[in-house]
Amino acid sequence: MESIYLLGAASPETIRMVQAVQASSPVSFPGLLDNDKRKHGTLFFGMPVLGGYEVIPGLAGPRVGFVSLVSGSTQAREETGRGIEAAGGQLVNLIHPTVDTNMVALGRGIYIQQGVQLGAQVELGDNSSIHIGAVVNHECRLGRSVFVAPSACIAGCCEIGDGVFVGVNATILPRLRIGNWATIGAGAVVTKNVPDHAVVVGNPARIVKFNERAD
């Protein structure tokens, strides 16, 4: 891949990721995309914000990739990933060069920040995102458009469904299944399976409500 465009001009961590990748790879980052029209034509920590979905057809090519950086909502992450592809963009991975991906199966459009630890035989679905210091232990399987927040820990052999949001410092104990579009609250300790769309909080985690259906 020669060039990568990043969708989401919101976090300065993006700039550190770009600098780290460029220090170890010849890939270029010509600019950012954002669907907030107020940001178009501005600079984000020195990187130009070129436009939204509408500019993707003119940028796309066989050696050009796109990554969604959206993290606040897994539904929004799903929508932006699909929006990039619908506009003709190719989803590619942006992974901090210090992250060990040996014996890890990677989908497309994955964004992984520094300090993340991935165990052997982990499988990451398309458009998933894992942030600073999180742990995904051996033989876990993550679905599409999953978000794992900083310092969260998913123990071994867990099954994480599509669109799951795992909050800061949350812990998921081994061999559990987290249903599609579930939300694990910050600091929660999950000790049993979580059904689709459930929102769980606390230690031990308990269901407090259900998300609206997103699938």
Q: Each residue of 141-167: pLDDT tens digit? A: 999 999 999 999 999 999 999 999 999
Q: How far apart are CA 24 and CA 190, in angstroms?
A: 38
> What pLDDT does 212 receive?
79
Confidence of residue 1 (pLDDT cuts 50, 70, 90): confident
Sign of the CA dihedral with 12 first, then 15, 16, and 21 last: positive
Task: Determine the average pLDDT of the residues in 33-43.
Answer: 97
Q: What are phi and psi of 101, to 5 degrees?
A: -110, 15
Q: How far apart are CA 60 and CA 109, in angstroms?
A: 15
State how far the alpha carbon of 148 is from the alpha carbons of 48, 79, 82, in Å. 28, 17, 19
> CATH number of 94-208: 2.160.10.10, 3.30.70.20, 3.40.640.10, 3.40.50.300?
2.160.10.10
Beta pairing, strands 206-210 & 198-201: antiparallel
Q: Would you say 158 and 176 are in contact if contact means Cβ atoms under 8 Å apart?
A: yes
- Arithmetic mean of pLDDT over the chain: 96
138: annotated active-site residue: yes
Domain ranges of the chain: 3-92, 94-208
Beta pairing, strands 43-44 & 3-7: unpaired
> What pLDDT does 155 receive?
98
3-state secondary structure of 73: coil
Q: How far apart are CA 112 and CA 99, in angstroms?
A: 8
Say whether pLDDT at 213 is over 70.
no
pLDDT for 185-211, tens place per residue?
999 999 999 999 999 999 999 999 998
Is 3-92 CATH 3.40.50.20?
A: yes
pTM of the model: 0.95
> What pLDDT does 204 receive?
97
For the chain, give the longest Cα–Cα distance: 50
Q: How far apart are CA 39 and CA 108, in angstroms?
A: 27
One of 40, 96, 138, 197 is an active-site residue; which one?
138
> What pLDDT does 214 receive?
57
